Amino acid sequence: MRTEENNLDYAIPSNKFYPPHIDKSQSLLRTRLLTTNLQDTRHNKKVIVIEAQAGQGKTTLASQFLDYNNTDYLWYQVGPEDSDPVLLLSSLLANLVSNLPDFNSPQLTTILTEGSVGPLDLTRCANILLKDLDRYLSKDIYLVFDDLHLIEYNALTNSLLEHIIDTSPPTVHFVFISRQPLELKSKILRNGNQISYVNTADLALDNNEIEELFNNVLHKEISRQDAMEIQKVTNGWIMGIILASHPISGRNRFWLEPSGAALTASHDKGHMLDYFQEEIFDQIPENLHTPFLELSILQEIPSDLATEITGINNFSIILFELSQDNFFIYSLDDKQQVFRFHHFFQEFLQRRARTQLASSEIARIYSHEARYYLERDQTEKALTCYKNGGDYKTMEKILQAKGMNLIARNRTITILTLLQSIPQETLFNHSWLTLYAGLLRIDFEPQSTLPFFNSARRHFIDTGEETGELITLSQTIYFHFVISGQYNVGSELLQRTETLLEQLKTTLPVPIMIMAARNLASGYCFFNGDMEKARYFANMASTLASRHDIRNFIASSRFIQGYIELLSGNRAKYLREAEICFALFNDPLVGESNKLTMRVMNLCFLSMTGDHQNYSRRQEALQKSIDNKVIDQTVAAPYLFVWGSSNHFSRGRIVQGLALLTKGLGITSTASTDHMHSQILQWQAFGYALAGKDEKAIKLLSESADLRENAGGPFYIAFHNIIAGAVFTRLKMFDKAEETLEKGLAIAQSISSTYLTLCALINRSYFKYESEAHEAAFDDLEAGLSLMKISGYDHFWSWEPAMMTKLLGFAVKRDIEKNFAQSLARKRLGINFSDEGEPIPLLKFTLLDSFALSIGGEVLFQAKDLTPFQRELLGLLITAKGQRIPQDKIQLELWPDNSPDNARKSFDTLLSRLRKLIAPRLPVDLKKYLYIQKGILCLANCEIDGLKFIEAARIGLSHDKNGDQLQAHNAFQTAFSAYKGVMPEDTFKSEQVLAYNDQLIHIFVEFATVWATNLAKSGQPEEAIILIKRILQINLLEENLTQLLYRLYNQNNNPLKARDTLEGYRKALIKAEYTEEEITEFLDEITTA
């Protein structure tokens, strides 16, 4: 069979991109419809829908519309294979590349040929194609999809088409041709203003058209009365009229039907089948009758296959001649090597074949057809043929040998559709078919896969097929890890899986090896808490994936390695894995499902470490990049509520945390598993304990404990006991608190989790502190804080303000990691502690964009409340190194013309008045904040937004220099959020403060330039553009950034914005008094870079 050549790993049917040949001399021009329903000379309709019964001239009308309007178009002949959206996308790309000169989409081609495309990837892939098409097109084009009704397993394909319709460039239009109502629900189709619609009634020929058809096209003179009679009998159904006038028919029997009953396509088909028997089949030479019956079994008729089946040489000549004589046979390619019967004629032949050919003969034809496609590496078609012939054993052999390769080639939905058409009672009798039916459902119906794996595994055990058993065990482990959360059940499968993998690893295909090792790593980590074995198998999977450069497996293996270190509390090792994952994030060969898991892992880390700001940003990015409906089907959905509530509780937002958990309880099916439900309930119990609702907390904690015992998982059991201890501590149930915390600490130490160990130690310290055993609390607090400091943590789950305040104050008072405790208090509570452990709220100075002094969120003073000299004094002090400045330096800055004595008096008066103004508004003695020490004016216990910005920006630049892009991104995000704008010009006048402002601007431009460049390189142009525009608001003369912005606008097909960028730069250069020659040179450098 001849197929179109393309760069994709997919044999495209010969007629895929060609409209059926229509002889204009034998066609009636539908002028009435073209000038009314389909009047679109200005291309003001986005979609044209032609929806009508068979034989109504839909395709002919579409072809005439395109010719009539002299518009560019591409034809796409839809087939059953397009039920697979990946194949549809591949074919559409091949169509565009084949028919649009110099068009290409290199990134999409790479993804389709080298990557793995799952359901979550379809939108991303479509966006790449549409973006490249938008960049290419300079005028309107129509994409014609003929026979859309042939799409069977259509949910994902329909979603893909809906997205393409709604997001395609304005120059792209669509013609959809179908026998059945479209199931598409795109916004454009629902709106209706941008569509033209033609249905069966519209396509029916009226009296004038029937008369014109006979007289001018068929060259048979009829009267107006004849035309009216034909219209009455056929209802204007074109196929009925054409059949009646077929050259072989001498009686025109349809429209002279004496009963007077109207004839339509939905009319009893027996009448039409009689016609094919008497008027078509009987006219074919008798020696071709049996061959035609045999060939009717085939969906398409390649001439060489026809010769093999019938034994007749040069069968293509026979088929071509009959097609020329209008025997309802059509050529599908321009070389007349592939044919098909008209569907009505094929139905007639198939009915006859079933009565005249033995079932064994029909099975032989299917088998022959299957071998034909198998020899040409068209495995999917071969499998379909074997399925049609009921040869399930051969299907099993093919899938056993080639199944993984088919998955790697993105044939998932094609094979799944085929397997779904097999009755389940039949399917479950064939182990490899059952296995692949489960495997291929994972991305679509994950919760339905377990019965398939269990059934297949029983068969494999009975037959001793250990490779099959290993695959089913591996996937069952994955099911309990990702879907069911039944860690106890999954744990029972690990030993047998490990034994099989070690026995078979020298003979297993690489993808099976990687999957089995990766899933074992997941199981040993989450089910058993055996981190050493988890690391061993994760490293095995990662090494194999890297050696063979399989990006999706690299990503999924690194995700597991990252989680192992995250749950262990090895912060540095986790960050190393997270950086590798971050580098894979914009790799086009990494699928969206793996990107989703990496995003979720990062969110877990940000929640565990209390980076609330970046957690919120990352959650927004996750929800923006992936449809919430998709997220709701994964474990990501309930975790967003669990981790989000933890973030609220750690900031004292009890009401918000409880509200979030209540919302999360019923939002998704994944939240109802014992594993997830237990976590939601335990955090609710914690929240109610903080709120003083004891009975409710106890009830929820008890329910959570039962669910956790059923689900299992050492890490989660340990943390459940720790948070239970935290609840009992707050309920003053100290015996229970001690019992659960001891148990939690023991498990944490047994799985070597630094994170849970420090969490348990500090919670146990708090229990002892609250039970007034302060001396006993000392050791646990010292051990916990030391462990936090050494391992780089400054937060853990269940760390909340009341607990922090008491324990950190106690730590400072007792000199337990004093400096570290004070730094934690400043960062987490906005306070410091005196040497006696008394809290001192930080005095916050806002400099960026506006000036203010505040404490605990309450603004005490703004610029207008202070005199110019008071503002200058504070400005000098705030911007001095370490917030310490010699008194004589202030005097010289503020009163340069005064004598030293007078300057000293002015300083004393100014400071005295400032103290009197501020002191009454402060909660503690002013000397805790402002004091003179040996002639140096000092500011203590304060927080300055400018300093926080500088610190975050420098941390980000340092990470960037070291190649740690994830950590750089987080630090840059923090710095960007902190930088509200330049310091207000009218507030400060001293050179020192103005120099400080220049420093802030310089650092902002520096880090933002690095960040914008990184974003552009990593395929995030929208974010880069936002950042660059923010920088250019400060300095329009930043040439490199202007150049980058200009390039990004052009790459995103926005030439108007690119021109505006150049014009803004030109005006800035004029304002800066550059010469015309210099300006031209600068602009040329930007446009030619």
**What confidence tier does 41 reach under pLDDT thresholds 50, 70, 90?**
low
Mean of the per-residue pLDDT values for the chain? 89
What's the whole-number mean pLDDT along residues 491-518?
Answer: 96
pLDDT at 760 over 90: yes
Domain with CATH 1.25.40.10 in the chain: 949-1088
> Rounded CA gap, 814 and 821, in Å?
11
pLDDT of residue 263: 44
> pLDDT at residue 265 above 70?
no
pTM, full prediction: 0.85
CB-based contact 561:552 (threshold 8 Å): no
Q: Has residue 8 got a pLDDT over 60?
A: no
Query: Quick one: fold of 632-710?
Result: 1.25.40
pLDDT digits (tens, 9 = 90+) for 765-774: 999 999 988 8
**Taking Cα atoms as reference points, which of 757, 749, 680, 791 lies closest to residue 529?**
749
Cα–Cα distance between 486 and 210 in angstroms, integer?
Answer: 69
Residue 846 — very low, low, confident or very high, per pLDDT cuts 50/70/90?
very high
CATH 1.10.357 fits 713-828, yes or no: no
Question: What amino acid occupies position 430?
Answer: H
Per-residue pLDDT band for 810 (boundaries 50, 70, 90) equals very high
Written as six digits, the tokens of 612 are: 């609330």
DSSP three-state, residue 943: strand
- Tell me what the mean pLDDT of segment 488-498 comes to: 98
Question: Residue 144: phi, psi to the nearest 5?
Answer: -100, 120
Q: What is the CATH number of domain 840-946?
A: 1.10.10.10
pLDDT at 5: 45
Give the pLDDT band (50/70/90) at residue 15.
Answer: low
Q: What is the mean pLDDT of residues 778-797?
A: 97
pLDDT-derived band at 270 (thresholds 50, 70, 90) equals very low
Q: Are strands 301-302 and 72-77 parallel, antiparallel or unpaired?
A: unpaired
Q: What angle do CA 870, 876, 880 make, to 5 degrees?
A: 150
Show the 3-state SS of 121-190: HHHHHHHHHHHHHHHHCCCCEEEEEECHHHCCCCHHHHHHHHHHHHHCCCCEEEEEEECCCCCCCCHHHH
Residue 225 pLDDT more than 90?
no
Q: Give how far Cα 816 sits from Cα of 757, 787, 821, Å.
A: 18, 12, 8
In this prediction, residue 982 carries a pLDDT of: 86
Q: What is the pLDDT of residue 277?
A: 59
Fold of 3-203: Rossmann fold (3.40.50)
Instruction: Reduce the secondary structure of 208-219 to three states and give it as a string.
Output: HHHHHHHHHHCC
> Strand locations in 1016-1088, DSSP E?
none
Helix count and strand count (H, E) for the chain: 53, 19
Q: What is the pLDDT of residue 44?
A: 83
pLDDT computed for residue 176 by the predictor: 95
pLDDT at 244: 61
Residue 364 pLDDT > 70, yes or no? yes
Confidence band, pLDDT 50/70/90 cuts, at residue 11: low
CA-to-CA separations, 189 to 88, 162, 621, in angstroms, rounded: 20, 9, 29
CATH class (in words) of the domain with range 949-1088: mainly alpha
Q: Rounded distance, CA 682 to CA 719, Å?
A: 10
- pLDDT exceeds cutoff 70 at 255: no
Identify which has the larger pLDDT, 333 or 809: 809
Cβ neighbours around 433 below 10 Å, total:
27
Query: Which residue type is seen at 266?
Result: S
Task: Kindly report, residue by residue over 112-134, the tens digit of the pLDDT.
Answer: 888 878 888 888 899 999 999 99
pLDDT band at 916 (very low <50, low <70, confident <90, very high): very high
Write down the H helix ranges in 731-860.
Answer: 734-750, 754-770, 774-791, 801-813, 818-829
Which CATH code for domain 268-357? 1.10.10
Q: Where are the alpha helices (DSSP H) in 441-509?
A: 450-463, 466-479, 487-491, 494-504
pLDDT(1) > 80: no
Axis-axis angle for helices 450-463, 431-439 (nearest 10): 150
Q: Where in the chain is the domain with CATH 3.40.50.300?
A: 3-203
- The residue-averaged pLDDT of 595-606 equals 94
pLDDT for 243 equals 65
| Residue 2 banded pLDDT, cuts 50, 70, 90 | very low
- Assess contact for 175 and 48: CB atoms under 8 A: yes
Label residue 165 by pLDDT band (50, 70, 90).
Answer: very high
Q: Which of 36-50, 287-301, 436-450, 484-498 has the highest mean pLDDT?
A: 484-498
